[in-house]
Structures are given as C-alpha cells and as structure tokens.
Chains A and B, each alone.
Chain A
C-alpha cells in the first residue's frame, strides 16, 4: 500500500482529460502538429484494441447501425472511447518491453506494481501524440473490432509467460526462419518459441471443449476439404485452437493479425511450426501490418476462397488490391461490429459480390457478451479494485437492460440492497417485478454506497449527484464508453484527485469527503476484470461453423448479401458447449416433433423468440 501511495503523488495535477479529448473531435485535431511517426503502431493498436471490446449496452444500437440507420452520437463516442482505452494500453506497452506491462494494461489490478503506475504517467504525457495519430487515420478510427476479441489479450496476459521478453530487436521481416520441416512460408518473431506456444495452446484447448468436440465429430469427413481460409484475427492461444480446428477439418489456412499488439509470439511460432502460414508478431508497425496481410494473400499458387475477418481490414484489403480474388471468394465470415457495419455499407452500395456471414449477432454470443459475462465481471471488477463487501450495501444500478439485469442479479445474490433507475417503462416494470425498487438517482444519492451505470447514455451521473454522495461512495461504469459518468465536471480546481491504486481514484471534496471513482469512468469489466475463455470459445465455435456453412452450402443458398447465422447453427453452438456442464439434452420423439410441428433436430424456436 505504501508503495502505491508513493506512486500516486505525481499524478493529480496534470491529470489528463481523456474524456473531453475523446468526446470532442475538434480538440483532437488542434493537437495535430507534433505527431510522430514512431507512434503510429500505438495508434493502430489503440484503434484496434479500442474497438475490441464492445460495451454490452451498445449492442442493440450497433445492430441498428449495422442495419443501416444513422450512427448516433453515442456510437461515435463509443469508438473514440475505445480508442482512448486502448491508447492507455498501447502506451504502456510501447514503453515497457516486458509482458508484465500487458498485464497491467489490459488488466490493471491493484497487484500491479510500479510499472503500471508509471505507465499511467506515461499515458498522460503521451496522450496528445496519440490523439493526432488517431486523427491521421480516419479509416481506422471508424473500425471497431469485436467486443470480445480484446478480451483475448486480457486472457493471454494472464496465462502466457514471458515469451516476448527476448532481446532480439531486429524486425522479423528481415529474418529468415524455417520450421523443423524446412518450411519458411511464414513470418513471426522467433520460431524457437514453438514449444512454449504449444503448451499455451494445449491449455486453451482445455477450456474450449466445443471446438475439440467439433474436431472429433467432423474429423472423419473433413467438411472444409479444399477450403483455403485466410484469416485476420487476434493471434492468441484461443484463436490458435480455432485455426488448428479448421486445419483439422480440412482447410488450408494463412493467417495475419488484426491487431498489431495482441499477437502472442510463442503461439504464432507454434502455429508456424504446425504448418500454418502465420504472418504476425507483437509490435508490428502500421507498415508491417499491411505487409503481413499482403503476404498472407499474395502467395503464388495459393488463392484464398474463404475469409475469416475481425474488423474488416483483410476484407477491405482484398477488395481493393485483389478484386479478382475477391470475386472468387465463397464467403466472408466477420465477427466485429465494425466489420459488419462495413459489410452492410458495401452491400448497400451494391459492391459486395460474395456472401458474408454476421456471427456477431447470434443469440448465444449476445447473451454471453451481455447478461452472463457482466453478471460475473461486475463483482470481479469491484472486488479487485476496492475489496468492497457487498452484503447490505445500498447499490444503485442505472439501467435495467441485459447488462443491468446481470449486475442486479449478481449484487442481489450477495445481499446488496439494489435500486434501479430506468428510462424505459417496460424495463422499469421488469425491475419492479424482479423485486428491485425503481427510483430516480437524485432521490437516493445521499444514502447509496455504490453507483453502477449501464445505460448506454451520457451524463447519467452528474456533478450534482456526486456533490451529494456520501463519503466513500463508489462510482463505476459497466455501460457504454466513458460518457455515463460526467467526469469533466469533476476536473475542477476545488476537487483533488488522488490515484490510490491502478484504476482507482479518490476524488476529494474540499470538506474532505471522498468518492471512489473506478477506471476513470471507463468500462469496469474492460479495465478491471477478465473475460473467461468460455466466452471466447462461443465466438470461435460460431466462426468455425459459419465457415463450414458458407463453404458447404449448395450454390444459391447464399446470395451476395450479409446473412445472420441460421438459428440451427446457433443452437448447434450452444449444444457443443453443453458437455462442459454435463448437461444432457432431451430428444424429441418423432411423435412429439410432429405434434409441435418442428423438426426433431431443430430449429426449435421461431426467429422472434426472445429467450
């Protein structure tokens, strides 16, 4: 603790104001003058990572967006916000070679030491540079990657050892490496790390039973035989399991990273050794990034016929640079919100000449990303940062959507007294029926011990509320970007900020009263807790099935459009995850199936079913 207190000293005064910067596009541009090229990798990463975690609350709106409605301000802010979050991470990373950093970034906990705190300082200093970077590449800013993908890096930061701490500073592009079998069609940091990477992959396999089952079930028939899959995703043990599953199912794979920082070198090495052409390493430059993608596509005598994309970069690149290849594709599988948005735009413009599959909006994935995931991470995040006890605490949860429902259930289970604020009467009525009091924040703010926002809105907790909070009240955000808590209003002269731990600030009023602000109002589960492999497994399985579906669909089933995964596939993904729980599904008899008018093997529900 003492250590931490020391570290807090330099902070308060020139505390950065990410919120303002981020929200305000104009301000960013003003800062453009002294941007430095070498920062660019950070930028890219920051963008990527920024996107990588979608806020649960914003799913719906994103879907709206995807389906072609106008982007709301909220969405725009969201992207910026994520950029900011990532910048934070990327800064840290660039400064410290050690992987520990990653840990501190993605997953800052109080356990993190000096480095973490330094990185915070660094962030402040660099913040401006990053901003310009950001503006420089508008194309990228618009791009968001899959919500969960970011979490992969958070996962790996925990599990993986220091494979990156090698002193070798030469670019992988200049090195010639070969696998034990003499292949050299890859480009990674160090092929020697293979063994370590293999172990990582083996561990991940334990937690991704669905893909393993898929291998076994389909292993005999090779449904992807002849498929040449080009992938562009995070390269982590979890995606490695996916890739190797695809190979096992008969596909040939070439892979690039969708994020310049998220690659785990050891895993890339293990994949390369296993015969998959991987072009990725941690800390690529922007130039490297596109070079990798290009190398991935541009192999002689190998033309991809499927794309697995996360963020839409690869799709974009192929469409621009290799239109002839693009036309011959059998299908695109895209999992990020941004990528899907791009696809819909392409489709609207009539330039999408291959079928694409939107795996982001599947029921299983959505429910996991929001309800179940947040239910667990709200407790985790609060405990890690504040060690608070929940029993008997007065908690206000702002918003009773999927995220709010998850948070309320978790807190209630621990004995907290939960109140809800809502704007939508239907959700409010649900809250009432579930036994939560529906109040306005202003009415109870004097008594509460914790305020958790998950509305997707902005300025839900304002200065006028925080002025009246009692000493020690915890304020955090599980919702949409960092706009929900009005941080700007706290950056005034009379309030003192004190960083007591990574991600934990005390804001001190002149009368000595403190409120505890977590993660500076950014997403708590993004900043202060992890995402379980199980969630990633659901995404990966969905991707694999989407590839199989697109590849083996009879001609004409899919036209040149963006499709949702068929409900049957969704159900199959869920069924593959049931063995984890030792769950035994009941089968319909023929007679029962006939009575219900559904097939014995599904789909079991109409499309409008709410689950």
Chain B
C-alpha cells in the first residue's frame, strides 16, 4: 500500500481534480468536514489537503503537527457547536457535494464581504433573503434539476398532490442542510401550497448556488457557506422573525430552530401546528422537552421510520463500505480476511457486501442474539484478539468505544487496514496511536499510515471517523427517502383533524411509511400486487394498508 507510485498517482489525481480551484477553496472543503464531523482530529484534513497540493510528502507530518494545536483552539472556541451532533446522514449530503457536484466552482469567488452586509435583489425585486451571491442562481438551478432526476418520489408527490394543494396556508420555517436535494424538497413543499422560509442547520454544508436558485424563485433563504456561529443564529432569527409572517410549521434537523423558537418566540411557538424533526439529536431533545412537559405542540419523529432506518443503515452501508475502502485504498477484497465488529444493521450490510466479493468475513459481537444470527448467516463469530494477527481489514460498527485498542493494533500484521463505519470516532482508540514512537504518514487524503518502530504499517482510514461519511458518497436515493418522509410528515401534521395529535412526539403512521416506500418503487419498475377485496377480508386488512402490525420486524 505504501508504494510510492500509488501515492504519486493519487496526488496527480487530486491536483487534476482540483486544478481549477484555489488552495483556499480546498481548505474550505476540509474545514467543512471538520466542522461537521465534530471530531477533535478533523483539523488533520486541512493540513493534509493543503499538503497534497504542496506535493512535498515529507513535510506533511510536520505541517500537520503544527496545525494541530492551532486548530484545537479554534475548535474549543465554539463549544456550543462542538456539542451539537447533526444527523449522520445529513452530514453526508455535503460529502456528496464535495465529491460530485461542482459547487465549489462558484464558491471560489473572491468576494470576502459578509452576505449580511450586502443588499441583493432577485429578478422579481424581492430582497427577503440572504445568500452569498444571487447571481449564481442559474447554476444552482441546474444542480437542482440534476437532483430531481434521482428524486422521483418527490416529483410524483408533486404531481399527485398538486391539484389539492394539501399544504395551502402552511407557513413552514425550515432548518436543514441546504443542498440540491433539500432544494427539491423545499420546492415540492411550495408546489403543494406552502410558503417557506429556510435556513441552514450547518455552517458549512450550504451550497451557495442552490441557495441562490431558491431565493430567485421566491423562497426566503438565509444561509451561506462558512457562516460564523453568530451568523448562524442571525440567519435563524431572520428566518423566524419576519413581520406579517408567522410560521405555523417547523421542519428541523438538529433541533436548533425548534430550540431558538422555543426560547425567543414562545408566543409563536405555541401557535405552531407541528414540528417535523429528522435528526437523532433533535428527536432526543424533543423527547426531553416532552418529558419535562414543556412541549406544547405535536412533533413528528421521522428519524425512526422503517424505510429511513433501513436505508440509512443496512442498504446505505452495504454500498458505501466497498466504495469507501476502494476510494481510499484500492484494496482487493477477494480472499481477504475481514473482521467486522458488530452485527447490527450496519454490520449486516457490511458483511453482505464483503461476502459477495469473496472476502472471508468474521464477526465480533457482544449480543448473543445477533451473534447467533451471524452464525446462521454463515459468518464465524470470534473475539478480535483471537484473529488479530491474521486479519487484513478491521471494520468497526458497534456504536461502542475503544473496540480496537492499541494493544490489538500492536499485534496487527503489516499493511492491515483499520476503519470505522459505526458511531462517531470513538470505536478505534486513535488517541493511543499518538505516541512518539509511532510515525504517522499521511499518504492520501483520509489515509494515514501509522508506522511502528519495526517498520510495520497499519493503514488507518479517516482517522477513525465514519468511513462512509468521510470517504464515500451517499446516494441521492437515500436522501430522497428522507425528504419524502419529511414532506409527508408535514402534510400529515398540517392536515390532521384537531385532536389526532396531542402535545407529544409521534412516530410517522405506518401507512405513511408504506406510502413513502411505494413512491420509490417506480424507480425499480416494481409492480405492486393489489389485494382483492376477498383477500383483504380474509387477512382482516384494509386493501390500501397498513399491511403489517406495528411490532413487525421487517
């Protein structure tokens, strides 16, 4: 893996890819990552990416170490942001754009003035928005149109519900990542009759040109890439606090908007008809609010819907594990000894993908039920210590901490790969590797060689952060499922007769879940069988669903 030829090739690739961008730009990308993953090590990216351009590999470790300290301080300066976890998937949207979209072209403008100080007007004369540069609207429109291709569910929702305008009168204030995919969601809401004001839930994830395109069409967007903490709250406030316009629905990702409204505008908050929240953190906050008896409006938890869960975990990880490993290491999987720590949904996905490519997969598990499932699915269940000397790849997805310890890393063989698909960056004990006797060498973006005194190298990917977040993309199809669920949740909350939803946190009704799934079936040209009246009666079901009891495990 440490073949210098490969390294050179990579650097060339990187240079080619980003030739048209400025170095500062690339730092932006890196910064974005670091901010979003909220990992203490994220600053490594910056040093690394810029060093990739400098093309002087020997300087990397030095440079990195120098920057390390500075970044640390930066980081601790914004404690509130550091504490905020945004949803794993939402983050990945930005990883998508960093790879796929040309977003950065437009970002590389030299305009350093804050959008707050600029007065911009869209072609219709409205200036009720605040984005980086309204002139980028056309480019953003193209991005949105591309995303629409893969989000057929929302498009068909527009068609199906357009005549009824189920959201007529809804005034939705939203706080999500602002990407081409969410733009499709926002425009769908508008098409269904809603008025929308939007802000970003992350200071780095906004695609400026998409924000511009949205503003151009009349959605009041307050967001740009690289907001300060202060900007962040200013945007939220501008979004909510608009004369003559009171929101009656909230679409939130992370709970910041909900929190702000609850604190600053309790009167407006009380009159809200419903909150739709999609992130784990936000949902957690809502449950706490509800427990404390302070939640005075109904809220919908779309994070735990079946479709979203399965896609976020099983299917998404099944694809991204291979993608992430290939992009970073170009490893071949056939015949490789792989250990996967944890056999939950993520682990099941990883195992299936690797097995399909001919890897020899072993599992470590603590839960005997999952372990038994692994056995029945044909995987050996081992303790990591028993096999550590032989393995080529270790993938952690337990949600636990220190699953792979220094002790185990010491015993790994030369060239073995260690990466994490699980929860944050705690699973691999990276801190224990930062000792003087070990040399770190950044060979590619997101790839470190950790070199033992005897010359043994262990390849650490993404510094132990989530591999699929850092090194692979998330398909629009997955985002489409989330977005569709959000749209349906809004419609459900807005149209529900009084009294159906009390002041509590609800799960999306199963029927909605099924509807989300059915909207995505067209992509596969799947033809759903319909129950005959007779059959429905026999099963005691409604012909149109819901088809399964709530406890069904799928």
Contacts and interface: CB of A to CB of B under 8 A. Distances in A.
Interface in A117-171: none
A72 B536 CA distance: 10
B521 interface: yes
A582 B375 CA distance: 9
Contacts of A459: 532, 534-535
B521 A363 contact: no
A430 B539 contact: no
B262 interface: no
Nearest to A483: B538
A457 B535 contact: yes
A439 B399 CA distance: 38
Given A429-B307, A457-B535, A610-B309, 9 more contacts: A73-B537, A77-B538, A423-B529, A425-B518, A437-B525, A438-B521, A581-B375, A582-B380, A588-B400
Interface string B524-536: 1111111110110
Interface residues of A, number: 67
A415 interface: no
Tier of interface size on chain B: 35 or more
Most buried by A among B524, B528, B530: B528
Contacts of B531: 423, 457
Interface string A544-578: 00000000000000000000000000111111011
Contact of B513 (A426, A457, A586): A426
Contact of B310 (A425, A430, A595): A430
B521 A595 contact: no
A313 to B, nearest CB: 27
Interface stretch (B141-149, B155-163, B545-553): B545-553
A595 B401 contact: yes
B150 to A, nearest CB: 15
Most buried by B among A73, A428, A483, A604: A428
The 9 closest A-B pairs by CB, nearest first: A583-B381, A72-B540, A438-B526, A575-B368, A425-B518, A574-B368, A424-B547, A425-B517, A604-B367
Given A424-B545, A426-B514, A439-B527, A63 B369 contact: no
B367 A605 contact: yes
Nearest to B370: A611
B56 interface: no
Contact of A578 (B368, B402, B517, B537): B368
Contacts of B518: 425, 428
A430 B554 contact: yes
A74 interface: yes
Contacts of B375: 578, 580-581, 583
Interface string A189-212: 000000000000000000000000
7 contacts: A61-B540, A437-B526, A439-B527, A574-B368, A581-B381, A585-B368, A592-B400
A456 B540 CA distance: 11
A214 to B, nearest CB: 14
B353 interface: no
A427 B554 contact: yes
A424 B534 contact: no
Contacts of B539: 61, 72-74, 456-457
Contacts of A458: 534-535, 538
Contacts of B345: 610
Given A64-B549, A429-B307, A578-B371, A583 B534 contact: no
Interface in B373-420: 373-376, 380-384, 386, 399-403
B470 interface: no
B366 A610 contact: no
A433 interface: yes
Given A63-B551, A424-B545, A426-B517, A72 B366 contact: no
A364 interface: yes
Interface string B281-310: 000000000000000000000000011011
A377 to B, nearest CB: 14
Most buried by A among B369, B384, B524, B525: B369
Nearest to B376: A372
B364 interface: yes
Contacts of B401: 591-592, 595
A235 interface: no
B260 interface: no
A578 B526 contact: no
B520 interface: yes
B107 interface: no
B452 interface: no
A58 to B, nearest CB: 10
Most buried by B among A61, A364, A585: A585
A610 B364 contact: no
Contacts of A586: 341, 364-366, 383-384
A438 B552 CA distance: 21
B372 A574 contact: yes
Contacts of B403: 592
B315 interface: yes
A14 interface: no
B233 interface: no
B240 to A, nearest CB: 34
Contacts of A582: 380
B515 interface: yes
A63 B521 contact: no
A584 interface: yes
Most buried by A among B375, B526, B534: B526
A70 to B, nearest CB: 7
A217 interface: no
A425 B315 contact: no
A421 interface: yes
Contacts of B373: 367, 611
Most buried by A among B520, B525, B552: B552
A438 B524 contact: yes
A441 interface: yes
A457 B528 contact: no
B528 A428 contact: yes
Given A595-B400, A596-B399, A610-B553, A440 B529 contact: yes
Given A432-B521, A578-B381, A363 B369 contact: yes
A519 B153 CA distance: 42
A574 B366 CA distance: 11
Contacts of B371: 574-575, 578, 583, 585
A443 interface: yes
Contacts of B383: 584-586
A438 B539 CA distance: 21
B380 A583 contact: yes
A424 B368 contact: no
Contact of A429 (B366, B367, B520): B520
A77 B534 CA distance: 14
A432 B548 contact: no
A310 interface: no
A63 B525 CA distance: 34
Most buried by A among B523, B529, B540, B551: B529
A422 B551 contact: no
B531 to A, nearest CB: 5
B7 to A, nearest CB: 36
A363 B373 CA distance: 11
B553 A441 contact: no
A61 B401 CA distance: 40
B157 to A, nearest CB: 14
B551 A577 contact: no
A581 to B, nearest CB: 4
B528 A438 contact: yes
Contact of A441 (B341, B402, B529, B537): B529
A122 B514 CA distance: 48
Contacts of B517: 425-426, 428-429
Contacts of A425: 514-515, 517-518, 521, 528, 545
Nearest to B369: A574
A60 interface: yes
Most buried by A among B384, B530, B535: B535
